[in-house]
Amino acid sequence: MKRVVMCVDDFGLHPGVNRAVVELVDAGVVSATSCMSWGPAWREGAALLKGPRREHLDVGLHLNLTEDFAAAPHEALPLGMVIGRAVLHSLNRSWLQRAVCSQLDAFEEAFGQAPDYVDGHQHVHQLPQVREQLLAELSRRYGAPAQRPWLRLTCARAGPHGVTFKQRLIQALGARAFERIARRAGFNLNGALLGVYSFDADTTGYARRLRDWLQQAQDGDVLMMHPAAAPGRADHPCTPPDAIAAARAVEYSVLGQQGLLCLTQAGVQPHRLQRRPLF
């Protein structure tokens, strides 16, 4: 069996994401979730990730610099601005430090311990300036390498038709430099990142992609997913605008109905990379 981290991003964004994570963990399809610790549904959702469910789940911080949450003590910036300023090394250092530290604080306060791993919403964790600030804070806060969270690497694994443009673009935003400095500092990382697409598939198309990713996967890879159940009324106070809501619904349908069968057919076992003591 291949051991693959089956990871749902954006836990805490709204109740529909939280519900999808819980259902898919319980179904044996998901083994990790990346949490937005200032998201409007994070605090109420954190308790759902504890107890027996925790034994099968890595719970990580999804570092966010671009999604605007009312409770956060730092403002969000458009993704293009974050990338542009990071490349030019002109991100405000105080703003960046506040964003990193406040999100780690909020995670620890609600969950009761350090994250098992850290990645980034829209992959911002690998950008210049951001990666240095993040790795420095994780090292300062959690000490020896064995006690630190693992980090999500965004390097692509080629599929039947090679590496897609979007995979190349994500990787080009700093994956190799991030990998180099993280390994030098003693952090553990995954293998390749699978699950990258343009959020444009119907259920048939997404099911086909899922089977392809699972066939390509190797031990230690991460397969990134974004499912969500219907969260309720559109004006629900915990339901912020969601640009990929339609894709989330498609993924939720496919993973719930076909996920376990796809895993079995591909010989994949959902896997946790973090092996620190739990609660």
* Span 86-107, pLDDT tens digits: 999 999 999 999 999 999 999 9
Q: Is there a contact between 156 and 122 (Cβ–Cβ < 8 Å)? A: no
pLDDT at 159: 74
User: For the residues 47-66, what does the mean pLDDT come to?
Assistant: 96
pLDDT at 231: 63
If you average pLDDT over every residue of the chain, what do you get?
A: 93
DSSP character string of 169-207 = HHHHTTHHHHHHHHHHTT--B-S-EE----S---HHHHH
pLDDT tops 70 at residue 278: no
Say which amino acid occupies 213.
W
Which of 195-208 are b and which e, b meaning 16 or more Cβ less than 10 Å from the residue's Cβ?
bbbeeebeeeebbe
Q: Which residues pair with 34 in a beta bridge?
A: 60
What are 189's two structure tokens?
């990382």
pLDDT digits (tens, 9 = 90+) for 5-14: 999 999 999 9
CA pair distance 61, 151, nearest whole angstrom: 10
71, HSE (Cβ side, Cα atoms, 13 Å)? 16
How far apart CA 81 and CA 66 sit, in angstroms, is: 9
Instruction: Give the 3-state secondary structure of residue 117.
Output: strand
- Measured in residues, the chain has a length of 279
pLDDT for 230 = 82
Rounded Cα distance between 215 and 196, Å, is 15
The domain 2-270 is classified under which CATH number: 3.20.20.370, 3.40.50.2300, 3.40.50.1000, 3.40.50.720? Answer: 3.20.20.370
Residues 39-57 as b or e (16 or more Cβ within 10 Å = b): bbbbbebbeebeeeeeeeb
